[in-house]
Amino acid sequence: MIGGLLREIVGEGPCDSILFSGGLDSTSVAWAHRALGVRPRLVHVQLIDSMGPDLEYALVASRHLAMPLHVVWATMADAMRAVREVVDILGVFNPMEVVNCAAQYLALEEAASLGLRRVCTGDGGDELFAGYSYMAKMGPDELDRYIRDLVTRWRFCAFDMGRRLGIEVVAPFTDSRMVRYALEVDPREKVREGMGKYALRKAMDGLLPEQVVWRRKDPIEVGSGFRYLYSVLEDMGRDIDVGMGLSGAQKYLYSLFRELGKTYERYGECPACGYKLSRGYCHMCGYYGAMP
């Protein structure tokens, strides 16, 4: 059912490229294109200074799908330029969001430079099918409630960055038909024996390489090597005084935020930056505390 639905969604507007990690979500989107006889270019990013594990899987998946893999070898200068662009586009100084989105920005930028104009992502798969480790620790009822709430407030930075770069970003997993289907899936089929995305894994088992289907979930910054930026940004922010309860990478990113002329409304909820909280999380600076 999931595979058929992906083919239906993709078939209405295939992409000419895919932001490709070699993870289950982006590979499933690529498979849907291949099933329709379409071979988009797969764009993959790695930080040269600290490579992540995704490349191995991206190579396996691209060979299996017989799709061209284009690897962006990002230097530290490229990564820091992307950080600046992401802060400017998104208007946040949240280290986790900025670092994750910096990797995606360079992939989208490369797609644009190659003349590609419609880029698919795997965004939404983890949210719908419980791909994050903390979700696997929830009971079935709690998980179901959490996902239903999450899809009402999710946001993906690739859309904003794509608009800045003049390319269309499409996320098949966020299509309303896929969302409706996923919300009907028993949460016990999403997590089994501590493994998230079980329903999606079973649906793609036999269609994709086993090592891709059953691989551990790695966040973007881990798989691409961009997590190295956390320590770089922390060092850069160490001696900066911002007059708030920010620390490390937050301080450097906030100084960049201000340098770019950005401001934000202070609601007095986040104890670190004064922004508002959503379930204990501050989208602006990345603070997370106990949920109210």
CB under 8 Å to 232, separation ≥6 — which residues?
Answer: 76, 80
Q: What is the pLDDT of residue 262?
A: 97
Mean pLDDT value across residues 98-113: 98
Does residue 33 contact residue 8 with C-beta atoms inside 8 Å?
A: no
Phi, psi of 170 (to 5 degrees): -125, 135
In the CATH scheme, what is the code of domain 2-259? 3.40.50.620
Q: What is the pLDDT of residues 27-62, one digit of tens each?
A: 999 999 999 999 999 999 999 999 999 999 999 999
CB under 8 Å to 31, separation ≥6 — which residues?
Answer: 3, 6, 65, 204, 207, 208
Phi, psi of 171 (to 5 degrees): -125, 95
**Bridge partners, 71 (sequence order):** 44
**Bridge partners, 288 (sequence order):** 281
* Mean predicted lDDT score pLDDT of the chain: 96
Q: What is the pLDDT of residue 291?
A: 46
Mean pLDDT value across residues 271-286: 94
Q: What is the CA radius of gyration of the chain?
A: 19
Q: Can you point out the beta strands (E) in the chain?
A: 17-19, 41-47, 69-74, 118-120, 168-170
Q: What is the pLDDT of residue 290?
A: 54
Token representation of residue 165: 């770069």
pLDDT at residue 140 greater than cutoff 50? yes
Kindly list the domain boundaries of the chain, sorted by start residue.
Answer: 2-259, 263-292
Mean pLDDT value across residues 72-85: 98
Q: What is the pLDDT of residue 289?
A: 84
Given pLDDT bands bounded at 50, 70 and 90, which one contains residue 1?
A: confident
Q: How far apart are CA 132 and CA 113, in angstroms?
A: 32
Q: What is the pLDDT of residues 123-138, one digit of tens each?
A: 999 999 999 999 999 9
pLDDT at residue 206 greater than cutoff 50? yes
pLDDT at residue 93 greater than cutoff 60? yes
pLDDT at residue 279 greater than cutoff 90? no
Q: What is the pLDDT of residue 284?
A: 97
Q: What is the pLDDT of residues 244-255, one digit of tens each?
A: 889 989 999 999
Token representation of residue 124: 């939404």
pTM of the full predicted structure? 0.95
Q: What is the pLDDT of residue 292?
A: 40
